[in-house]
């Protein structure tokens, strides 16, 4: 099994609920699959180019404007290759202001490539990587369950983007209310860790 970890939280694991959930999942997964090949991308520490006015044309196939743009385009292709090689992708992200960090979106932009992870047809777009499985470990300071404030958009965004690439086997493991008091935070985190450990047994 090839596993790609996408770490989208700048904090150390000791200070991050989403990373604690991800760590629990990975520990249980590696106990079951000790020979799993694991690759890690930290979108805050590693090079994850963000699309801008210069990179965008190269992303869509135009010749790079200069050597730096060529390097950034090639790095995007490296990220895509890592994604394509993975059987299982494990994403760890906080919910910031209802969504994830922009660095996570930059990674998603690098892997959503026509002809590689989806294609256009006369009958509409078709995902090209339906065999992949994804686990999303996330945490939020607020509680979003009751619609006030509005529902967080991180997991709907990811499930939509993954679904566009044909990926429907997506497991969401979240710990909401990390800013809602110590007792509430501890309870939701413990429940999420238990869910993560149980989820790992299914792979």
CATH number, residue 112: 3.40.50.360
User: How far apart, in Å, do the first and last CA atoms of the chain sit?
Assistant: 9
> What tokens were used for 145?
């369950």
Continuous H helices in the chain: 17-32, 55-59, 67-85, 102-111, 154-164, 182-200
- Binned at pLDDT 50, 70 and 90, residue 87 comes out as very high
Q: What's the CA gap between 53 and 152, in Å, rounded?
A: 29
At residue 148 the predicted structure's pLDDT band, cuts being 50, 70 and 90, is low
pLDDT band at 150 (very low <50, low <70, confident <90, very high): low
- Kindly report the number of other CB atoms within 10 A of residue 201's CB atom: 10
Predicted local confidence at residue 151, as pLDDT: 81
* Stated pTM of the model: 0.95
Residue 30 has pLDDT above 60, yes or no: yes
Q: What is the mean pLDDT of the chain?
A: 95
| Mean predicted confidence (pLDDT) in 145-172 | 88
**At residue 24, does pLDDT exceed 70?**
yes
Domain of residue 183 covers 2-200
Three-state DSSP state, 180: coil
Q: Are strands 88-95 and 133-140 parallel, antiparallel or unpaired?
A: parallel
- Token representation of residue 124: 């509409």
Domain count, the chain: 1
Give the pairing of strands 118-121 and 124-127: antiparallel
146 has pLDDT over 90 = no
> According to the model, what pLDDT value does residue 182 have?
87
Distance from C-alpha of 13 to C-alpha of 134, rounded to nearest angstrom? 20
pLDDT tens digits along 88-143? 999 999 999 999 999 999 999 999 999 999 999 999 999 999 999 999 999 999 88
Q: Mean pLDDT throughout 184-203?
A: 96
Other CB atoms closer than 10 Å to residue 103's CB: what's the count?
A: 20
Give the residue with greater pLDDT, 189 vs 180. Answer: 189
């Amino acid at each position: 099994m090839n596993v790609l970890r996408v770490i989208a939280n700048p904090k150390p694991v000791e200070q991050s609920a989403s990373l604690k959930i991800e760590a629990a999942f990975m520990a249980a997964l590696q106990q079951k699959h000790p020979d799993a090949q694991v690759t890690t991308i930290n979108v805050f520490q590693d090079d994850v180019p963000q699309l801008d006015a210069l990179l965008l044309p190269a992303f869509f196939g135009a010749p790079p404007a200069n050597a730096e743009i060529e390097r950034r385009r090639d790095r995007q292709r490296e990220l895509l290759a890592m994604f394509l090689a993975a059987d299982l992708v494990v994403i760890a992200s906080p919910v910031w202001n209802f969504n994830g960090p922009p660095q996570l979106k930059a990674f998603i932009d690098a892997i959503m490539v026509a002809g590689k992870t989806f294609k256009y047809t006369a009958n509409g777009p078709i995902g090209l990587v339906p065999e992949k499985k994804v686990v999303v470990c996330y945490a939020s300071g607020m509680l979003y369950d009751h619609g006030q404030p509005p529902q967080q958009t991180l997991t709907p965004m990811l499930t939509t983007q993954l679904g566009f690439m044909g990926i429907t086997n997506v497991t969401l493991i979240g710990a909401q209310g990390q800013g809602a008091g110590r007792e509430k935070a501890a309870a939701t985190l413990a429940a999420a860790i238990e869910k993560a450990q149980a989820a790992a047994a299914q792979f």
